[in-house]
Amino acid sequence: MEYAILNNGVKIPMEGFGVFQVPDQAQCEQVVLEAIESGYRLIDTAAVYMNEEAVGAAIKKSGVPREELFITTKLWSQDANYTAAKVAFQTSLDKLGLDYIDLYMIHQPLGDYYGAYRALEELYKEGKIKAIGICNFYPDRVVDLCMNVEIKPQVNQIELHPYFQQEDALKVMKEFAVQPQAWGPLAEGKHGIFTDPILAEIGAKYGKSNAQVVLKWNAQRGVIVIPKSVNASRIKENFDIWDFELSQEDMDAIAKMDFGHSEIIDHRNPELVKGLLSFNIH
């Protein structure tokens, strides 16, 4: 496993395990346990995933010391204001059964996220969170936030995979020392990514699968990856990416796969924004 150092000195694993779309509590607990047993130390959940309690149960059962784990959860847009953010944070902390959160993130740049961010800054100063994160912030929102807050965010989690590489977004994050983190690093399985011939040809050189090539490609760009699977063998396979390096030729070949836009979600779509703001979790 390799690690990145955030702009506040906190060390974070370069690969984690995501639990998006695993709402079944028993299944979620089981796959998180399998991930921890496979070597993952970063676990990424969110209030809206409805599985924080299962993640907490798995952490407790794993037997791994708390300080060896890096736990992320996220504030849903319904609670994006100063007062509600404090309550939502405590709710997540209680569901996880933890004393602190390693990375607490604002899930969408919606609602009064500046008010929510002030709450996160206070929680950070109190030691209840070790790092402040944001999700789905486009470059313009990253610039605006970084230039108007006391504590710059440490991480921005956005869609990053071969079909949507977001090089401009990475440049902005680098300028403000914000660590990029990829959701959907395997493109949610779209566009035949697991059988793509370009990736397969590269993988054959190293004895690696398409998924392993894609995850390694992002990691070599300095992007933290958080793949998700409920299949035990794939959970292990996705973690087995730290014993090889892609050549520059490989990196260049993957660079040509970029569509230049997302075919999963557009956070600037008015109808999507309405839907996100209308979706309540309590």
Q: What is the pLDDT of residue 72?
A: 98
Structure confidence at residue 30 as a pLDDT band (50, 70, 90): very high
What pLDDT score does 260 carry? 96
Q: For the chain, what percent of residues have pLDDT higher than 70? A: 100
Q: What is the pLDDT of residue 85?
A: 98
What pLDDT is recorded for position 245? 98
Q: What whole-number distance in Å separates Cα of residue 152 and Cα of residue 147? A: 8
Chain segment 118-129, per-residue pLDDT in tens: 999 999 999 999
Which of 49, 104, 117, 124 does the annotation list as catalytic?
A: 49
DSSP state of 50: T
Half-sphere exposure for 207 (CA within 13 Å, toward CB):
4
Under a CB-based contact definition with an 8 Å cutoff, are residues 152 and 177 in contact? Answer: yes
**How high is the pLDDT of residue 65?**
97
pLDDT at 225: 98
Rounded to two decimals, the pTM is 0.97
Q: What CATH class does 3-278 carry?
A: alpha beta
% of residues, the chain, pLDDT over 90: 100
Compute the distance between CA of residue 13 and CA of residue 225 in angstroms, rounded to an integer: 9
Block residue for tokens 């000195």 = 9
For residue 2, give both structure tokens.
Answer: 């390799």
- pLDDT value at position 158? 98
pLDDT at 210: 98
CA-to-CA distance for 202 and 253, rounded, in angstroms?
A: 9
Residue reference for tokens 């921890």: 36
Per-residue pLDDT, 267: 93
4-21 per-position pLDDT tens digit: 999 999 999 999 999 999
Q: Closest Cα partner for 61 from 70, 53, 49, 50?
A: 53
> What digits encode the pLDDT tens for the residues 227-268?
999 999 999 999 999 999 999 999 999 999 999 999 999 999
Q: What pLDDT does residue 66 have?
A: 97
pLDDT at 220: 98
The answer to whether 114 is a known catalytic residue is no
Smallest Cα–Cα separation from 19: which of 35, 38, 37? 35
Over residues 44-96, the pLDDT tens digits come to: 999 999 999 999 999 999 999 999 999 999 999 999 999 999 999 999 999 99
| 20 closest CA partner among 56, 92, 70, 74 | 74
Domain boundaries of the chain, sorted by first residue: 3-278
What is the rounded average pLDDT of the residues 121-145? 98
